[in-house]
Amino acid sequence: MAFILIMSLHGMQSMITELLPSISGVLDVQIGPFWFVAMSVALLFRSFWACLAIPVGITVFGEILIGDFNALGTVEGLIVITLSWFFAMSLITDPMDPKQIAVVGFIAKAMEEIGAWFIDVGKFYVGVEEIDAIAWLPETVWVTEGVGAFTQIIVAGIIFGAIPTYFLYPRLRGKIEPLLGMTPVEGRDGPMFTRTSAKRLLAWVVFLPLAFVIEAFSETSGGLITFTPQFVETYGQEFLFVPILAAAVVAFSVVAYRQRKTDSLNN
């Protein structure tokens, strides 16, 4: 239930931000995405399935339902996003401390952007993607891509991530979990970085090259399995309301179903 709720909420906010304008200039900055939605809700449950729900929500509502799905192209997000959040969640010792929650959410988003940075630069070096760089100094690709990653870390990780999470998370804790028939996750004693954290960080490092290989292969293979009717290009931006509405219905249905089931058990 938590997986479906997070998946639908994150998919819905991703599509809402697609309707918002971007700021063009030296850097193209999009308003959003509103990562505090995923941060606040996913960090309530702190499970592997909560982490996996974030990229799956983007895939289902941000790719399949708008007709722009590439099977191999989704693997990078499934690996990098899931493992980044799975590691960051292991750092939480006091789930009632909004400052710690906000910092952990920022770390997860920063790791995601750093992983994507390495993968994009790697695709440039193997020749499967063209990226802006000085012709006689290809190393500048690290700077150009790094600036973009840093911008996303600031915009999505702090402005639309950690800061609103700091205020929203404590207002959701203890209120969302009972709706799904669950109790709030308790804290733990000890340091933030533990042996479990080390194992999850190692998994992130080990699987990052695999994500790169699959992503590079997707650029040359056509995606293996694709679904590309391009509904938005055909029907216009208004079609984005379809996945938004679908995600809202799924999220509401999950909460309503669990509420009825919990009430019947209590009675």
User: Quick one: DSSP state of residue 20?
Assistant: S
Instruction: Say what the pTM is.
Output: 0.90
Examine the pLDDT at 25 and tell me if it is beyond 60: no
Q: 107: which 2 tokens?
A: 């770390």
Q: Identify the pLDDT of residue 28.
A: 53
Angle, alpha carbons 84-218-53 (nearest 5°):
35
Whether 57 and 2 have beta carbons less than 8 Å apart is answered as: no
Whether 34 and 196 have beta carbons less than 8 Å apart is answered as: no
Percentage helix, strand, coil, to 5, in the chain?
70, 5, 25
The residues, ordered by sequence, that sit 6+ positions from 56 with a Cβ below 8 Å of its Cβ are 3, 7, 78
Q: At what angle do helices 36-45 and 98-126 cross, to 10 degrees?
A: 110
Among 46, 95, 77, 65, which residue's Cα sits nearest to residue 197?
A: 46
Examine the pLDDT at 217 and tell me if it is beyond 50: yes
Q: Identify the pLDDT of residue 207.
A: 97
**Average pLDDT value for residue range 143-148:** 87
**91-144: per-residue pLDDT in tens?**
999 999 999 999 999 999 999 999 999 999 998 888 777 766 555 566 788 888
Q: Identify the pLDDT of residue 26.
A: 47
**28-86: per-residue pLDDT in tens?**
555 556 778 878 999 999 899 999 999 999 999 999 999 999 988 899 999 999 999 99
**Average pLDDT value for residue range 148-168:** 91
